[in-house]
Structure 1
Amino acid sequence: MTVKFDELRGDITYGVTVPPTAAGTAVEVPIIRLPFAALITEILWIPSAAMAANASNYATLTVRNRQAGAGNIAIASRAYNAGNGMANVPEVLAQAGSNETLMPAAGDVLTAHFTHTGTGLAVPAGLVQIKLRIR
């Protein structure tokens, strides 16, 4: 029996491992090139080590829709300027923008992007997970 994407029900989870990076070093990791139009239902960041918040020197994780390489739409983010992150504890990223932002099209490329403010913050290895539904 062959199952087609349009026959799947419920959430599908995709994940990507983010490598550890030094303070001030930006990193962007592709998560998936969507084979179908989707509705994003949740985005999680699971750091492998604690992340200490700093009001002046911090890192921000932003999940972006690069729209097959041509776009730059922020879907969700988490800044470490307030509130620490705990090792191996999933954090739900705050959604950005409108509901349309959460509905990428087939062929769009979703990425996890760490940027830094001030001198930045070291980012431990971790896992970004995106839960989505086919639409």
Structure 2
Amino acid sequence: MSIKFDELRGDLTYAAQIPPTAAGTAVEVPIVRLPFAAQITEILWVPGAAMTANGSNYVTLTARNRQAGAGTVVMATRAYSSVNGVATTAEVLTLSGTAADLQPAAWDTLTAHFTHTGTGLAIPAGLVQVKLRIR
């Protein structure tokens, strides 16, 4: 007996490991290329080391839907400009308030993108998790 995607219930979790990256160096890591349409329910970042916020020189984690490689829909963000990150503690990203941004189509690629402001902030190794439901 085989199970079809549309028979799965509840949240599915996909994750990507993020390599440690020097301050000022942008990095984008693919998380998953979806074989089905989905509804994003939560996106988490788990830093492997503490991250100290800096109002002038910081990094922003942006979860993106690359829409088959061409798009840049922002699904969620988390900036380290005023709130610290705690080592090995899951941090919930702020999801987009636009419903369509949280509904990737089949074959869209979801990524984690780190951009820097000022001289930036070092990014520790960590894990980005995307929780979603098939729609």
Range class of TM-score, shorter chain: over 0.9
Query: What does 1:1-135 correspond to in 2, within 5 Å?
Result: 1-135=1-135
Q: State the alpha-carbon separation in 1 of the partners of residues 24 and 88 from structure 2.
A: 23
Q: State the alpha-carbon separation in 2 of the partners of residues 133 and 4 from structure 1.
A: 14
Q: State the alpha-carbon separation in 2 of the partners of residues 13 and 97 from structure 1.
A: 21
Stretches of 4+ moved more than 3 A in 1? none
Percent identical among aligned pairs is 71
Name the SS for the 2:17 alignment partner: strand
Q: Structure 2-normalised TM-score?
A: 0.99
What CA deviation, in whole Å up to 9, does each residue of 1:7-54 have, x standing for no partner? Answer: 000000000000000000000000011100000000000000000000
Q: State the alpha-carbon separation in 2 of the partners of residues 57 and 37 from structure 1.
A: 37
Q: State the alpha-carbon separation in 2 of the partners of residues 97 and 115 from structure 1.
A: 21
Q: State the alpha-carbon separation in 2 of the partners of residues 16 and 97 from structure 1.
A: 24
Q: Structure 1-normalised TM-score?
A: 0.99
Matched letter for residue 112 of structure 1: A
Q: State the alpha-carbon separation in 1 of the partners of residues 74 and 102 from structure 2.
A: 10
Matched letter for residue 8 of structure 1: L
Structure 1 stretches lacking a partner, 5+ long: none
Q: State the alpha-carbon separation in 2 of the partners of residues 97 and 67 from structure 1.
A: 18
**Corresponding pairs, count:** 135
Instruction: Tell me how far 1:96 sits from its aligned partner.
Output: 1.9
Q: State the alpha-carbon separation in 2 of the partners of residues 42 and 24 from structure 1.
A: 27
Matched letter for residue 28 of structure 2: E
Q: State the alpha-carbon separation in 2 of the partners of residues 41 and 55 from structure 1.
A: 29
Name the SS for the 2:101 alignment partner: helix
Structure 2 stretches lacking a partner, 5+ long: none
Name the SS for the 1:15 alignment partner: strand
Q: State the alpha-carbon separation in 1 of the partners of residues 83 and 10 from structure 2.
A: 32
* RMSD (Å) for aligned C-alpha atoms: 0.5
